Structure 1
Amino acid sequence: MTDTADLIGIDSLLSDEEKSLRADVRSFVDTAIKPNIAEWYENAVFPLEIVPEMAKLGLLGMHLQGYGCPGRTAVDYGLAALELEAGDSGLRTFVSVQGSLAMSAISKHGSEDQKNEWLAKMAAGEAIGCFGLTEPTAGSDPGSMQTFARRDGSGPDADWILNGTKRWIGLASVAKVAIIWAMTDDGVRGFVVPTDTNGFKATVIDRKLSMRASIQCEIELTDLRLPASAMLPNAKGLRGPFECLNEARYGIIWGAMGAARDSYLTALEYSQQRLQFGKPLAGYQLTQEKLVNMALEINKGTLLALQIGRLKDAGQLQPHQVSVGKLNNCREAIQICRDARAMLGGNGITLDYSPLRHANNLESVRTYEGTDEVHTLILGNHITGTPAFR
């Protein structure tokens, strides 16, 4: 059977192991997510019951090594992200928050005790994590965060007291552990915070028009006391959270193409079955032009994701290259989903079809882990050598 989403034989660039993993995740999405996602989205439900299934597939902390983590390649993780987001961005985002943000923070910057306490449980889906960086007035500029951690006493063993507010924090209301970034007298530092600690409160943000099958929260930290050992010892300054954000951005590069592919295939199937003026919509030149443009951008975006993944696996990936992928693939994916919705006519505004749901979700994906504007300025700085953020 011809794969109408792969015009240039991208599959030939994948190993048999990579294609097998992709098939496993695609089957999971087809059986566990797609039949239920319209109901989850409409009712704003994140299906906690599928977390153990994701863990069994090795999707949690997928690219991390040791401590019970799956230890797969960057390309493996990317292919999984693409298939998950073909189901829904919210489900791919769960895997990203758990693995690329919370688990990566502990894996990259944590102590041995922190790694031993949390990573295996998180990989098994026994503990959900969240990543508290963004604040109500500090999104694109996390250096202006107001959350502050002070020492209660002197000496290296003195407790930390945290106060502040974090917003748009995925999974916080169901998490057992939070990675909280706070300003200190010594700059930005990260802390591993069990969510049952006194002074930690997570409130779900509802009434959303996007990412409805996902959980986002506001976190309030009120005189939250932590032992000295709660600090991530190997993260100092904004480089710590930024290294984690780049892991999440990498998954988005692939995931956005999953949403685009699903929307394209939905529009293609619809156009072949829908009759107008005596023949299928697919038989009209304007329809074919739209489908061709979608397929071209999906193929280019997937090639871009694969190249970035190969560079990552080779240890050669540069931060600006992540911005290339995130900016391009989100921008193209959201246009593909909108065009696919238009091809469905009035039916396209219902949850019987996926493109508008994908487009709505991508409004969030396009915003988090760096807006279009932020990634444009990152690339502008790289190209010109002149920063233009201020």
Structure 2
Amino acid sequence: MSTSITRENFDQWMLPVYAPAPFIPVRGEGSRLWDQQGNEYIDFAGGIAVNALGHAHPALCKALSEQAARFWHTGNGYTNEPVLKLAKQLLDATFADRAFFCNSGAEANEAALKLARKYAHDTFGPQKSGIVAFKNAFHGRTLFTVSAGGQPAYSQDFAPLPPQIQHAIYNDLASASVLINDDTCAVIVEPMQGEGGVVPANQAFLQGLRELCTRHNAVLIFDEVQTGVGRTGELYAYMHYGVTPDVLTTAKALGGGFPIGAMLTTETFGKVMNVGTHGTTYGGNPLAGAVAGAVLDIVNTPETLDGVKQRHQWFVEQLMAFNDRHPLFSDIRGLGLLIGCQLVTEHAGKAKQISQLAAAEGVMVLIAGGNVVRFAPALNISEEEVRTGLTRFTRACEKFLAENIS
């Protein structure tokens, strides 16, 4: 078999569930990537908010290689030191008393929803099974989590879906209050919707959900898969709001690029998950535990978290300066280094075109639906990389406007 790999091989060999860029990155350092042809890109995509410390961070490489030289895997019949140390780091830094480790955000949310159902059934009876989620949410791609996500485009092809899941309007407490009742076992919500358009929650909305869940004995789950691990300028976004959930899910940036997810909860809820109730073969393996521990050592510091808030200002100021000259965006929003730029009505549905033009200029950005360009760069991206990347991005936007003159 030839060792020459091209982008066309994807179309030949892979299940066509993605539409990847026409270039293949082969090397990364910090917030820069290079493709097979040696072209350089500033990375504002961050692996979809995963690469918290950029590419090939020395501390993460060291943690991975040192653990790899010791042992990689034992399965859940044994525990290991790296994952126990990681659990203690997370519990010490959050509201939680117990942790469960898995491989992804979808798995973390699956575990959270299963915990909520079991707690409700054990404590109140089988009738307490309802789940309230929100329109335009995204919680993963398993059948349970894609059903909880309020985007029919991701779930409608896989019906029949798990029952007793209802969707309220995000940031609309009245809409949620109509659905939450004594038969509700869980409410699952993102403190800031990521895939749904980079929409931060209102504080009153999250506070109201907390009160409704307490009143109706429902488990409040915060999906912090995208907002967690320093992304918003706090270790977890719930800390911005002064609202404490019963369960928190985290993944993406937790491993800085190495696959790991976690569900965090209190003793009250965690104790219902006894031996054999749930599990995973790879979850909490020593490699993932070692790398995630190194990530938290760096991210959960005032220097990094304050730096995220500073970098937010760098992005917003430069994006707004461009938008003042060329009104392309109707809103520039977000927290920390999760930023969304909503296209004006005239250019609705064309976010993908902008991202493709940006790549051609040497900067990688994300989209959140057809109308929002999304930025989720490394938390330690330099000021020079922000400036250079945004210069390339604005050049792409100018080309977009020139090509889309009405």
With normalisation by structure 1, the TM-score equals 0.26
With normalisation by structure 2, the TM-score equals 0.25
Task: Compare the two structures and name the one with the higher helix fraction.
Answer: 1
* Structure number with higher relative contact order (C-alpha < 8 Å, ≥ 6 residues apart): 2
